[in-house]
Amino acid sequence: MGLIRLMNVIREINDELAIAGQIKLDQLQQIANGGYKSVLNLRLPDETGLLANEQEKTELLGLYYVNFPTKSEDINHQGMLRIYQVINKLPKPTLIHCDNSIRSAAIVFLYIALKQGISFEKALQKIINIGLI
């Protein structure tokens, strides 16, 4: 399995959240069939390899869709609080994706840590230590 293929793998983190790199059109149908209720896209509009009309295609399948463009350097306390609120409001289960699933993994790790009462600073240090940002 090549690197490109691995980036597109959907990884379930828990009953509420999954992560992936850039999803493809055929994966959207699998996501809908798999019981997901929403998709959170962390990609910026100027990134390459975006799925054309991702919001429209996602919503046509009956899923909620939010694009919350996030750069790795934007993963700070204030930015994470905004993302936390978005994730909290989205119907679950939610798929969170970016280009290669690294930002998605960092965001999900921070979200879970904050829900568990771990301080942002401690959680951020952990994701830095494991190389997610």
Over pLDDT 90: what percentage of the chain?
A: 58
Instruction: Look at the chain and report how many structural domains it folds into.
Output: 1
* Tens digit of each residue's pLDDT (9 = 90 or more) over 73-84: 888 888 888 999
Provide the mean pLDDT of the chain.
88
The CATH number for 18's domain is 3.90.190.10
Residue 16 has pLDDT above 70, yes or no: yes
Query: Is the bond into 93 cis (omega within 30 degrees of 0)?
Result: yes
> 113 in a domain, yes or no?
yes
Rounded CA-CA distance 69/101 in Å is 14
> 45 in a domain, yes or no?
yes
Residue 122: which domain range? 11-129
| pTM score | 0.89
Q: Are 80 and 114 in contact (CB under 8 A)?
A: yes
Angle at 108 between CA 105 and CA 113, to 5 degrees: 125
Question: What are 40's strand-pairing partners?
Answer: 66, 96
> 3 in a domain, yes or no?
no
> 35 in a domain, yes or no?
yes
> With the C-alpha atoms ordered 46, 28, 67, 108, is the resulting torsion angle positive or negative?
negative
> 1 in a domain, yes or no?
no
> 57 in a domain, yes or no?
yes
Q: Are 13 and 19 in contact (CB under 8 A)?
A: yes
